[in-house]
Amino acid sequence: MQRPAGRTSTAGITLLVCLLGITTSPVNGQCSFGWKSGGFTIALDEAVQALTVYDGRLIAGGWFTNAGGVEAPGIASWNGAAWSSLGAGADNGVDFGVYALIAHDGKLYAGGDFTMAGSTPANAVAMWDGASWSPLGTGIGNGFNTVWALAIYNNQLIAAGDFTTAGGVSANRIARWDGKAWWPLGTGVSGTVYALAVYNNELIVAGNFTTAGGLLVNRIARWNGIAWSPLGGGMNSTVSALAVYNNDLIAGGRFTTAGSTNANRVAKWNGFAWSALGSGMAGSGNVEVTALTVHDHALIAGGEFTSAGGVNASHIARWNGTSWSALGTGISRISDSPAVYALATFRGDLVAGGAFDFAGGQLSFNWARWGALGPFLATDFNQDCRVDADDLAMFEACSAGPAVPYPDASAGCTLTADPAGYIPADFDKDHDVDQDDFGIFQRCYASENLAADPTCQN
């Protein structure tokens, strides 16, 4: 295909980056990260138990009934500026709590202890298609059961929690939905399941149980589609959260040993053995890791703890592969113990949900965002405190060459023009994006953890 006349070659720019020795993960040292205040206007009135991203929006589930002044029982949608409900009138939300969320194949699935989704009977699990709620068969249990975790395995929905039937079929605490009917996973597990993950093409199941498929597994097990098996010797207490980070399976909970290894509330499994992540979490009372996610190349843990790896970390902490660090002053609460129950990434920010009143000392009721605060270099198009490969891709998509108008969004250029008609990549403001602009752009790169020169844009 012939390239439009005058358009700068993407491959050429990328090659130039390599020839100039520009790195792919520079950091703008002037830019800072921190908690973003929520305040009353976007508060959730009760605890958040689950978070996910669906159709470009953040979805929160929990015990709340009001989200930012909007009636939203149990589940709400955030578009980056305001909360809205899922469903209207009688079809709005669910009648009890939502504790698990997952998006798959254009659908949003919710699990909890509800019996109605909108005006539709739906026992503990339901599907939202963007316009309305639907049940999944007769659902889970008999109306008095709970789904604590959802996952997709072998392209089927897995629901797990505290129940013994699914769709009228015997299913001990875990079941799969094939689109038409519920099926058990062997003989299931002997106690409540709180977390699910997929690791090395196997379904990982964790919670407060001792056997799976009749085998001794101690609170964590794996299902390969046919049979159950243990992960080493398991844990000595409840496993509440799972994630995959740096090719390891990460487990969090109340345990203090994993296999034969001392591991305070968090541990990793490399496919063969358990090991600790530093000295783990500590605090007073019921210390527990209740949420795990991967954000910005680091493992994030949330829960009920006040230190991580010996560092003060109020209920949320970051693991970079070798050590723990705090996220500012963390989260807190006026009365009762605060906790983080859910974590997700939305539009570059880390989102924490739970039961708390403050994040980083700022009012932020039951949910909060951690992200880049600025000031941002003009070359940091996605405003993440880095001028890196992501920004380069955005520059390339808008680069057309001398005297050639900016490509539009249909050609991949997503940078928005200012009131004068210039897009951010047009640094010299001559109504094109060419090698002159790239010369400015490349000067704003820096080596890993080295500040970019503030004058690089001049």
- Sequential pLDDT tens for the chain (458 residues): 322 233 333 334 343 343 333 333 344 457 889 999 777 889 999 999 999 999 999 999 999 999 999 999 999 999 999 999 999 888 899 999 999 999 999 999 999 999 999 999 999 999 999 999 999 999 999 878 999 999 999 999 999 999 999 999 999 999 999 999 999 999 999 999 999 999 999 999 999 999 999 999 999 999 999 999 999 999 999 999 999 999 999 999 999 999 999 999 999 999 999 999 999 999 999 999 999 999 999 999 999 999 999 999 999 999 999 999 999 999 999 988 999 999 999 999 999 999 999 999 999 999 999 999 988 888 888 888 888 888 899 999 999 999 999 998 888 999 999 999 999 999 999 999 999 999 888 888 754 444 455 567 66
Q: SS3 letters for the chain?
A: CCCCCCCCCHHHHHHHHHHCCCCCCCCCCCCEEEEECCCHHHCECCCEEEEEEECCEEEEEECCCEECCEECCCEEEECCCCEEECCCHHHCCECCCEEEEEEECCEEEEEECCCEECCEECCCEEEECCCCEEECCCCECCCCCEEEEEEEECCEEEEEEECCEECCEECCCEEEECCCCEEECCCCECCEEEEEEEECCEEEEEEECCEECCEECCCEEEECCCCEEECCCCECCCEEEEEEECCEEEEEECCCEECCEECCCEEEECCCCEEECCCCEECCCCCEEEEEEEECCEEEEEEECCEECCEECCCEEEECCCCEEECCCCEECCCCCCEEEEEEEECCEEEEEEECCEECCEECCCEEEEEEEECCCCCCCCCCCCCCHHHHHHHHHHCCCCCCCCCCHHHCCCCCCCCCCCCCCCCCCCCCCCHHHHHHHHHCCCCCCCCCCCCCCC
Q: How far is CA 178 from the centre of its chain?
A: 25
Per-residue confidence (pLDDT) for residue 321, from 0 to 100? 97
Nearest to 308 by CA among 276, 355, 337, 348: 276
At residue 72, the pLDDT reads 97
Sign of the torsion formed by the C-alpha atoms of 104, 124, 231 and 320: positive
Question: How far from 329 is each of 60, 303, 363, CA to CA, in Å?
Answer: 23, 14, 13
Nearest partner of 341 among 61, 23, 123, judged by Cα: 61
pLDDT at 457: 61
Residue type, 390: D
> Distance between CA 294 and CA 360 in Å, rounded?
20
Whole-prediction pTM: 0.89
By the 8 A CB rule, do 214 and 241 touch?
Answer: no
Q: Select from 31, 57, 35, 68 the least CA-distant residue to 369.
A: 35
Residue type, 416: T
The answer to whether the beta carbons of residues 339 and 355 sit under 8 Å apart is yes
Domains (range + CATH), the chain: 10-28+376-443 (no CATH), 34-372 (2.130.10.10)
d(Cα 78, Cα 60) in Å, to the nearest integer?
A: 8
Residue 83 token pair: 């909360």
Tokens of 107: 């659908």
Please choose, from the candidates 275, 235, 274, the residue with its C-alpha nearest in 3D space to the C-alpha of residue 255.
235
